[in-house]
Amino acid sequence: MKNDRQARWVLVSIMTLAAIAGLWVLARWNPADYSFFPRCAFYTVSGWHCPGCGTQRAIHQMLHGNFVDAFFLNPLATLVAPVLACCFMVTAVYRLGGKTGPCVYIRSRWIWLLAYSVIAFWLLRNLPLSPFIYFAPNG
Amino acid sequence: MICPGCGRHNDSTAMQCMYCGKPLRQNPYGVSPVKESRLPSAPPSPRPPNHLVKAILATLFCCLPLGIVAIVYAAQVNAKYESGNYQGALESSRQADTWGNISIILGLVPMALYAIAILAGGAI
């Protein structure tokens, strides 16, 4: 039991440090200006934007407080980022505190909605039509 | 009334037999007491993890359609759990975990190699 608890602390610590390190790199250097950031393999091969294209640049803008710029780089990432941050913290507390911590439950219909939204977003952001060009990464 | 358990006579308003304690079917309010078989015999099964956060991160960072597969399995975990299909939810949970991991590995390994190549190329 004690080893299990220690292992959970180590896991949560490593993931937290990795997240902070990743966010620090994304805040320090703008992915739009530096080439060492990994490029999207799907975009490189096909020339089409994937649902995640623009996420790194959007995170850079969010960490500098520019949420509008982030939204136009990747609206999906900008909208789910606060939810993911909350989920990460709640899950970390749950893992460390055992069964006493809080636990989120998202009903299945909302996850289905998310899945359909991601697929629709993927298709729409590649359309060269007027309202949808704002879904593509606009730096 | 007659107790169906021990056959002894009880007061007609008694909720349970005063001799053997067995619940009597009729009570003064005309509502049957809950049968023991209707009570859950075991505590409800815990909900299997749906690995939704991993699936969303895989979709946003790994640029592969496989992250969407993981999101669909995450939805199935909760849908099957809500309908009482615990074994099905467990199976979908494993699938969501597997597809999230496949998506992350297939997405991040080429990206890491690319970043290393760029950094190494810049150093030379």
Q: What angle do CA A63, A56, A89 make, to 5 degrees?
A: 60
Quote the minimal CA–CA distance from A131 to chain B in Å: 22
Q: Residue B98 corresponds to which tokens in the numbers above?
A: 């597997």
Contact at CB, A106 and B72, closer than 8 angstroms: no
* Predicted local confidence at residue B36, as pLDDT: 45
pLDDT digits (tens, 9 = 90+) for A23-66: 998 888 888 888 777 777 788 888 888 888 888 899 999 999 88
Number of neighbours of residue A120 by Cβ within 10 angstroms: 12
Q: Is A126 helix (H, G, I), strand (E, B) or coil?
A: coil
On whether any CB of chain B is under 8 Å from the CB of A76, the answer is yes
Residues 92-111 of B with CB under 8 A from A: 107, 110-111
- The DSSP secondary structure of chain B, one letter per residue, reads -B-TTT--B--TT-SB-TTT-PBPS--TTS-PPPPGGGS-SSPPPPPPP--HHHHHHHHHHS-STHHHHHHHHHHHHHHHHHTT-HHHHHHHHHHHHHHHHHHHHHHHHHHHHHHHHHHHHHH-
| pLDDT higher than threshold 70 for residue B32 | no
A110 pLDDT above the threshold of 50? yes
Q: What is the pTM of this model?
A: 0.69
* Nearest CA distance, B89 vs chain A (angstrom): 11
By residue count, chain A amounts to 139
Q: Which of A43, A76, A112 lies at the smallest CB-CB distance from B63?
A: A43
CB-hemisphere CA count at 13 Å for A115? Answer: 20
